[in-house]
Amino acid sequence: MLLGGAALLGLHFALASFSQAPATPLKVQHFDKVKGYLNPYFVQNWMLFAPDPLADDRGVLARAQCQDGSVTDYHDVTTSYVRKAQASRFFPSRMSRLVSAPMQSINATDPLLDRLREKHKDDIAKDQKDQKDGEGKVRLMPEEQKAQDNAVRFLSRYSLTQMPDACGGDPQRIQVRMYVRELPPWSKRNAPAKAGKDTVQVQDFDWLKVGELR
Amino acid sequence: MITSFRARLHARTSRSLTSLDRLGSTSFAVLGVSGTRVLLGFVGFMFYASQYADRHYLFGPSGVESWSRFLTVLDETGTFSLYAVSTSTAWFELVFHLGMLLALAVTLGVGGRPVLALHWVFLWSVYQRDQFLLDGGDNLAYLVIPMLMLTRCYDRLSLPSGLAGRVKDRLPAGLRAAQTPLHNLGVLAIAAQICLVYVTSGLYKVQGKLWQDGTALFYIMRIPEFELPGFSRLVYENDLLVIAGTYATTLFLVYFPLGVLVPKLRPWAAVASIGFHLSIAFFMGLTGFALTMVACDLIFLSRPLAAGIRLAGRVRDRVAASVRERAGWPEQSAVTATRTASAENAG
């Protein structure tokens, strides 16, 4: 029994380790089968802060469009929960993850496709220049697009709950803006801080109808 | 020459058979896995407790993750959640509070392994309701609890419960004989799991540019979500601490299994891991994640834990004795004496 059990354990951990291996040709070929075994109760992901950890300040702003067509200012729906998390060291509130986790799934594109995109980035840039409205946008595969849409829908719904007074409580549409504020890199860590000179990138997502989110 | 070879081979087989025998007859790390159970139960309890005020918003039927999306994801994953059974608030409150009580029961050691299994079901259910809240700690928890169910993790550090003992006595002899090998397999599984966690995360760090440069800690500790204002600065503004910390992290993670395989290094590897994770808890605010990792490290620390408990017992006796002396209290009463004696037996 001991030996049989140990053999089963060995097999289980071989498959679990395989699911954590980098994208080797073997993994590309067989990963779906292994996933069939591991899903859903043995699924795991241990790329904790690796290989490339986040290194900037990111978050989400949101604005609403009212019945009369006017558009509100941007609401910061990120910072208050980050402050709340910082304020406690004993099981702090996880509310800030309602922003950071969907943002991560927006940015988590398929690693294999990312490699292809990196390889052909000149072609992609040319392609984007030819398109009229595709400025700076990476074209995503259907699966990636679906994950992104779901994350944006979630963020919009979340933002709605965080700005209950917008448009007198009756907004018609909502738009989410993602920002990435670069923090000074290591090489400039001792340079004096320049106020208002931060590099901030933003990405605006489509307006969504409030009625469809509720 | 052939005979000496044969003799050596014979000696070796009999040696490995003896150690195999030991694996079948001696339960290893009972105190350690009991500690794992206590701490995992506590972290589970705090998952509920720390979101208690926000529970309707996060997990309720009209929570922030829409009900239809919740059901779709369950369906796509091919799994269940008790929270999906009904949209009534009463049902939600019932499931949430029952889950909380089960976590508490696991921490205190009430109800034995059936309660541990139920706890897993409730915990899995609440995890499914809002997946954006989860981190690696929760991932490890739902993997390790089933492994823990193989082990004798209620033998120590649990409230005495007559029922569990009686059930155990009624078990058929065959099943009781299987307990020890099952227990050891469970401990082995937890050890393998924690090694997989550390080695994977270590090897991916090795490939990262910031980790190679030795500056990863500098970047991570400044992310607002993971910063402790006033304290993180003390680390990330110190060049030596940043580089030493970054490299120590990667080296520790990659070499952890070797530290565990060498018996003499084992407690030190576990202590290093605990120190590493407690500083993650302090600086990054990831209490649940850090304590889940610490809980799994405890399986390597049975002997030091036992020594610690003995020491605590001696200190307590001495303090009690000196208090009695000063206050002129009478000697131990017969009742407390038996209670202490039975507690020592159970330990």
Question: ω into residue B181 within 30 of 0, thus cis?
Answer: no
Q: How would DSSP label each residue in B90-132?
A: HHHHHHHHHHHHHHHHHHHT-SHHHHHHHHHHHHHHHHHHTGG
| Chain position carrying tokens 């195999």 | B20
- How is residue A61 annotated by DSSP? E
CA–centroid distance for A114 within its chain: 15
Q: What pLDDT digit, counting tens, does each position of B250-299 carry?
A: 999 999 999 999 999 999 999 999 999 999 999 999 999 999 999 999 99
Q: Helix B136-148 and helix B112-129: axis angle, to 10°?
A: 150
B77 touches chain A (CB under 8 A): yes
Range in A17-21, A135-139, B98-102, B307-311 with the lowest mean pLDDT = A135-139
User: What is the pLDDT confidence band of residue B141, given thresholds at 50, 70 and 90?
Assistant: very high
Residue B111: pLDDT over 80:
yes
Judge residue B323's burial from the number of C-beta atoms within 10 Å of its C-beta, 0-12 exposed, 13-18 middle, 19 or more buried. exposed
pTM greater than 0.80: yes
B69 touches chain A (CB under 8 A): yes
Mean of all residue pLDDT scores within chain B? 91
Residue B136 distance to chain A (closest CA, Å): 7
What is the Cα–Cα distance from A201 to A183, expressed in whole angstroms? 12
Q: Are B228 and A189 in contact (CB < 8 Å)?
A: no
Identify residue B346 by its one-letter amino acid code: A
Beta-carbon neighbour count of residue A125 at 10 Å? 10
- A157 to A50, A95, A100, B23, B76: CA distances (angstroms): 30, 14, 15, 54, 21
Residue B138: closest CA among chain A residues belongs to which residue? A44
Residue B345: pLDDT over 50:
no
Asked whether B77 and B84 are in contact (CB, 8 A), the reply is: no
- Give residue A124's pLDDT: 76
- pLDDT tens for chain A, residues 1 to 214: 888 999 999 999 999 999 999 989 999 999 999 999 999 999 999 999 999 999 999 999 999 999 999 999 999 999 999 999 999 999 999 999 999 999 998 887 777 788 888 888 888 777 777 665 545 566 788 888 999 999 999 999 999 999 999 999 999 999 999 999 999 999 988 888 766 677 899 999 999 999 988 7
How many Cα atoms occupy the beta-carbon half-sphere of A58 within 13 Å? Answer: 21
Q: What pLDDT digit, counting tens, does each position of A180-214 carry?
A: 999 999 998 888 876 667 789 999 999 999 998 87
Residue B131 distance to chain A (closest CA, Å): 9
* Residue B328 zone, left/alpha/beta (φ > 0; ψ -120 to 50; rest): left
User: What is the pLDDT confidence band of residue B164, given thresholds at 50, 70 and 90?
Assistant: low
Q: What pLDDT digit, counting tens, does each position of A158-186 carry?
A: 999 999 999 999 999 999 999 999 999 99
Residue B119: pLDDT over 90:
yes
**Tokens read off for A141:** 């595969």
What is the Cα–Cα distance from B227 to B218, expressed in whole angstroms? 11
Contacts of B206 in chain A (CB under 8 A): 51
How many Cα atoms occupy the beta-carbon half-sphere of B236 within 13 Å? Answer: 26
User: What is the pLDDT confidence band of residue B157, given thresholds at 50, 70 and 90?
Assistant: very high
- Give residue B162's pLDDT: 62
Q: What pLDDT digit, counting tens, does each position of B16-42 carry?
A: 778 778 888 899 999 999 999 999 999
Asked whether B41 and B106 are in contact (CB, 8 A), the reply is: yes
Query: Residue range B136-143: average pLDDT?
Result: 98
CB-nearest to A97 from B24, B132, B201 is B132
Domain borders along chain A are: 1-52, 54-213
* Residue A90 zone, left/alpha/beta (φ > 0; ψ -120 to 50; rest): beta
- Give residue A110's pLDDT: 78
Q: Are B64 and A20 in contact (CB < 8 Å)?
A: no
Q: Please write down the HEC assignment for all residues of B181-202.
A: HHHHHHHHHHHHHHHHHHHHHH
Contacts of B133 in chain A (CB under 8 A): 94, 97-98, 101
Q: What pLDDT digit, counting tens, does each position of B224-258 carry?
A: 999 999 999 999 999 999 999 999 999 999 999 99
User: What is the pLDDT confidence band of residue B347, given thresholds at 50, 70 and 90?
Assistant: very low
What is the Cα–Cα distance from B319 to B331, expressed in whole angstroms? 14
| Chain position carrying tokens 């000074």 | A184
Asked whether B141 and B40 are in contact (CB, 8 A), the reply is: yes
Contacts of B193 in chain A (CB under 8 A): 13, 16
Which uninterrupted H or E stretch holds B267?
A: helix B266-284
What is the Cα–Cα distance from B156 to B347, expressed in whole angstroms? 6
Q: What pLDDT digit, counting tens, does each position of B41-88 carry?
A: 999 999 999 999 999 999 999 999 999 999 999 999 999 999 999 999
Domain borders along chain B are: 28-170, 303-346
- For residue A54, give the 3-state DSSP assignment: coil
- Give residue A142's pLDDT: 87
Q: Are A88 and B285 in contact (CB < 8 Å)?
A: yes
Asked whether A61 and A75 are in contact (CB, 8 A), the reply is: yes
